[in-house]
Structure 1
Amino acid sequence: MSSNPINTFWCSLLELNRTLKSTLCLLSTEAEVPPSAVSLVFKMEHETSMKINCVAEYLGITIGAASNLLDRLEEKGWTQRLRSEEDRRITYVSLTPQGMEQLLAWRSRFADHAEAIFGRLDPQRLEALEGSVTDISRYLSEYNASYEDRKNTK
């Protein structure tokens, strides 16, 4: 039985996803926080502030779970919550200067790990792989957007 190259590639991507998540879990244990906390801190680098419900949506968790995670990050001094001036029911979360320092420390450590993992690759091969990963990410994003559009028009 011949295998379908697309199915084989899809299985490879799923395995890569599992392995990457496992690696990120190992790296996040250094900071004694869950991988979702690391992901959130990196996301917040590009957001001045986020509503707690947006944090929950981004991480794919409940608002209660997001609030618990934010409690842990506040205990470490990495985030702060601020009530909206316009609507006191709305709470925003943002990185503190200490949170930004932590992000930069993680970025440095992750770069060291990335060097150890991918440093064996020829630079030209690495560049080609990066281009392929960028393309795959774009294809998946486009597919997801069109899927959401189709779902919402039903």
Structure 2
Amino acid sequence: MEEVSNGIKILKMLKQIMYIIKQKMKYECKDLDITGPQGILMGILTHYGEMKISDISKKLGLSNSTVSGIIDRLEKHGLVERIRSTEDRRVVYVRVTPDFKKTFQKYFSEAERRFEEAINKATPEELNKIFEGLNTLKEVLERQKE
């Protein structure tokens, strides 16, 4: 039987980590009746304020069309709104609606606290390994650009 390449092992592990994070976000967002990815997007908007879809896509690591679909569903539920730029009508920003922002901030703060609590259970040595490993992976992948 052929051994799995290192690249595939890394991708599988990253996928498993993202799955765990999405499941935790799904659990945190269940009372709000939104999905994990919708919750993550709402968290980004709550944290950073209004943003262009392309900027949200970069933060989430998803395509513009995928993010646009998530925003469409959130907009139908009155959770986000699109605003045209006054300087350039072609530019559209997305922001959390004021009413929902207050409600969501409570949930997002709680989810953030729980995630931080889980991470704080790691020893300083484990945290250093995590940061070093992720930074090394990032550096290796950035070398491919050159």
How far does residue 82 in structure 1 lie from its aligned partner after superposition?
A: 1.3
Deviation at 1:98, TM superposition (A): 2.1
3-state SS in 1 of match to 2:122: helix
| Higher-Rg member (1/2) | 1
- What is the CA–CA distance in structure 2 between the aligned matches of 1:144 and 1:14, rounded to whole Å? 11
Amino acid at match of 1:106: Y
Q: Is 1:91 aligned to 2:84, yes or no?
A: no
Aligned to 1:51: 52
Alignment equivalent of 1:147, drawn from 123, 132, 140 = 140
Closer, same or farther: CA 152–110 of 1 in aligned 2, 3 Å? closer
Q: Say if 2:78 and 2:97, in contact at 8 Å, map to a contact too.
A: yes
Q: 1:84 to 1:147 in 2, by over 3 A?
A: farther
State the partner residue of 1:3: none
Unpaired segments of 5 or more residues in structure 2? 1-9
Q: TM-score by structure 1 length?
A: 0.64
Identity of matched residues, %: 21
TM-score between the two structures when normalised by the length of structure 2: 0.66
Contact kept in structure 1, 2:25 and 2:40, CA below 8 Å: no
Instruction: Show the 5 A alignment for 1:34-49.
Output: 34-49=35-50
Letter in 1 for 2:106: A
Deviation of 1:109 (Å): 5.1
Q: Which segment drifts farther, 34-43 or 101-110?
A: 101-110
Which is bigger in relative contact order (C-alpha 8 A, separation at least 6)?
2
**1:49-98, CA deviations, whole angstroms, 9 ceiling, x for partnerless residues?**
21112222322333222122112222333322111233322211122322
